[in-house]
Structure 1
Amino acid sequence: MELVVGRVVKSHGIRGELVVEVRTDSPEERFAPGTVLVGRTGRGRTATDREVTIEAARNHSGRLLVRLAGIADRDAADGLRGMILLVDSESLTDPDDPDEFHDHQLVGLRVRDTAGEELGEVAEIVHTPGGELLAITLAVGGDALVPFVTEMVPTVDLDAGYCVIDPPEGLLDLGAS
């Protein structure tokens, strides 16, 4: 399974640097010099993949600037606008902390409440400045966002394929009066 770690927003300067929108919790690892990623341009049947090698990466005014091997000028960099940067999930090591997870490990988990009732499935992990949220597709219809904190998600059992949530009253209500 391939995981998105970034997206090329635009070129920067005249030497081929790229502004990259980071979509990983470990940018220093994913964009380290020498790292090989898959760069995907286009969508669907027109998608084209190619290997790209990180030559350099640096923070500049709150943005990540990346230089790729073989991209030496603004014109070449402009041609990569919109490219999605991917890593193979098999190449990721499991986090050392038992309370940390990669997004792909959580997506698809069944969601139960503390009484064991099935509520739905984790559809996505939403990263916000305030922390991570589990986007849950509810079995009764609709969606819910649950903060991914121990108080609201006390149990994650990857082997069994589920997590337990303990949301405050009303969080999962779908607007019924």
Structure 2
Amino acid sequence: MDKTAYEPDPQTPPPKGERLRVARIGKPHGIRGEVTVQLFTDEPTERLAPGAVLLRDPGDPSENSELSSKTSGANTELGTLTVATQRWNKKICLLGFAEVPDRNAAEELRGSVLFIDVEDQDDDEEGWYSHELEGFRCVSGQEAELGTVEALLTGSAQDILVVKTPNGEEVMVPFVEDIVPEVDPGQRLITLTPPAGLFP
């Protein structure tokens, strides 16, 4: 294999506050530099769209390796990759990158972990990311314990909070103001006013 086929971008992105892990690169697909990716985001169409600039950590090339955390520290030096193409082969996401012209270059990326800078998003944009709410306690207006946030699922109509109750059940809570009137990041606490029957 030609080890010089791919050279990471020598320019390191400036330090940012927090980086969100979005994907891990797997095997090459075909001869034109496409790769399969394991997704860690529920918004791949948007976050991995053509033109997106991703931060690349070489990671562990082992197929069975796992990243221990969902975010990377601000001081980690990463290269960059620019998404050129995105398509789906059944349920597998395939990406092509502007810097990766062929299969040999794609092979050099195997095991790399891809991040986005959370602070790259518009500071005025309303909304939350799933990783920001995971682990928040959920209580009713009477401060009764309802559970803990497992995830935030984004949708075209509305977002959904996945809340794990103390008895282990998962409850899908519409993330609308009438039901989720208050989110307190400092206390890692969400106040809910759920309709009757939503929680067991």
Short-chain TM bin: 0.5 to 0.7
RMSD (CA atoms):
3.7
Q: Report which structure shows greater RCO (CA 8 Å, sep ≥6).
A: 2
Matched, 1:15 2:15: no
Q: Structure 2: which 5+ residue stretches go unaligned? A: 1-17, 69-75
Aligned ranges for residues 91-106 of structure 1 at < 5 Å?
Answer: 91=119, 95-98=123-126, 100-106=127-133
Residues 37 and 87, structure 1, Cα contact 8 Å, conserved in 2: no
User: Shift of residue 18 of structure 1?
Assistant: 2.8
User: Shift of residue 96 of structure 1?
Assistant: 1.1
Aligned ranges for residues 21-170 of structure 1 at < 5 Å?
Answer: 21=39, 23=41, 25=43, 26-27=46-47, 32-33=52-53, 35-41=54-60, 42-43=65-66, 51-60=78-87, 65-67=95-97, 69=99, 71-77=100-106, 80=109, 84-87=113-116, 91=119, 95-98=123-126, 100-127=127-154, 131-170=158-197
Query: Quick one: distance in 2 between partners of 1:130 and 1:31?
Result: 26
* TM-score using structure 1 length: 0.67
User: Shift of residue 118 of structure 1?
Assistant: 2.3
Residues 123 and 136, structure 1, Cα contact 8 Å, conserved in 2: yes
Q: How many residues align?
A: 166
Query: Quick one: distance in 1 between partners of 2:199 and 2:58?
Result: 38
Q: Structure 1: which 5+ residue stretches go unaligned? A: none
Identity, in percent, stands at 30
